[in-house]
Amino acid sequence: MAKYPRVREQHIAVFGESGSGKTVLVSSFFGPTQEGSYSNDLWDLVADDTGQGNRLYQNYLGMRDRARAPMPTRFEATTYYFSVKLKGGDSAAAKKRPFDALRLAWHDYPGEWFEESPSSEEEANRRVDTFRSLLRSDVAILLVDGQKLLDYAGEEERYLKSLLTNFRQGVLRLKDDLLDDEGRLVEFPRIWIMALSKADLFPDWDVHAFRDLVIEKAASHLDDLRSTLKDLVDTPDALSVGEDFMLLSSAKFELSAAGPEPLEIDVTQRVGLDLILPVASMLPLERRVQWSERMEIPRQVLDTLADGAETLAAVLTGGKTLGVDKLVALLPKVGPLAGLAALPVLTAAAKMAGSQLREINAQARDHHDFLTATLTQFKLDLDQGVKDKLLIRSLK
| pLDDT at residue 342, as a whole number | 63
Q: What is the model's pLDDT at position 339?
A: 52
Q: What is the predicted pLDDT for the residue at 272?
A: 97
**pLDDT for 87-98, tens place per residue?**
987 677 677 788
Report the distance separating Cα 302 and Cα 298, nearest Å. Answer: 6
Percentage of residues in the chain having pLDDT higher than 90 = 60
Q: Which of 170, 294, 155, 148 is nearest to 232 (CA)?
A: 170
Amino acid in position 188: F
Contact 242, 222 (CB under 8 A): yes
Mean pLDDT for all residues in the chain: 88
Question: Residue 348: what pLDDT?
Answer: 82
Residue 178, pLDDT above cutoff 60: yes
* pLDDT at residue 296 in the model: 84
Q: What are phi and psi of 90, to 5 degrees?
A: -90, -5
- Residues 281-305, mean pLDDT to the nearest whole number: 87
Quick: pLDDT tens for 258-289. Answer: 776 788 899 999 999 999 999 999 999 999 88
DSSP letter, residue 271: B
Q: Quick one: pLDDT at residue 319?
A: 57
What pLDDT is stored for residue 310 in this prediction? 79
Strands of the sheet with 7-15, listed across from one edge: 43-47, 78-86, 101-109, 7-15, 139-145, 191-197, 240-247, 391-392
User: How far is residue 91 CA from its own chain's centroid?
Assistant: 31
DSSP conformational letter for 133: H
Query: What backbone phi and psi angles, to 5 degrees, belong to 32?
Result: -60, -30
Q: In this structure, what are the phi and psi dihedrals at residue 356, rounded to the nearest 5 degrees?
A: -65, -45
Condensed to tens digits (0 to 9), the pLDDT of residues 322-338 reads 555 555 555 555 454 45
Exposed/middle/buried for 203, CB within 10 Å: 0-12, 13-18, 19+? exposed
Q: Determine phi and psi for 121, rounding to 5 degrees.
A: -65, -35
Residue 255 — very low, low, confident or very high, per pLDDT cuts 50/70/90?
confident
Phi, psi values for residue 2, rounded to 5°: -65, 145
Contact 185, 229 (CB under 8 A): no
Evaluate the omega torsion of the peptide bond into residue 189 and state whether it is cis, within 30 degrees of 0. Answer: no
**Percentage of the chain exceeding pLDDT 70:** 90
From 150-164, 272-286, 341-355, the region with the lowest mean pLDDT: 341-355
| Segment 46-55 mean pLDDT | 97
Sequence-ordered alpha helix ranges (H) in the chain: 22-30, 50-66, 92-96, 121-133, 146-151, 156-179, 207-230, 276-294, 299-302, 309-316, 324-330, 338-350, 354-366, 370-387
| Secondary structure class of 285 (helix, strand, coil) | helix
Taking CA atoms, 351 is separated from 223, 246, 347, in Å, by 29, 21, 6
Question: Higher-confidence residue: 5 or 53?
Answer: 53
Residue-wise pLDDT for 106-154, tens only, equals 999 888 888 888 888 888 888 899 998 999 899 999 999 999 999 999 9
Please state the separation of Cα 16 from the chain's center in Å.
14
The residue type found at 241 is V
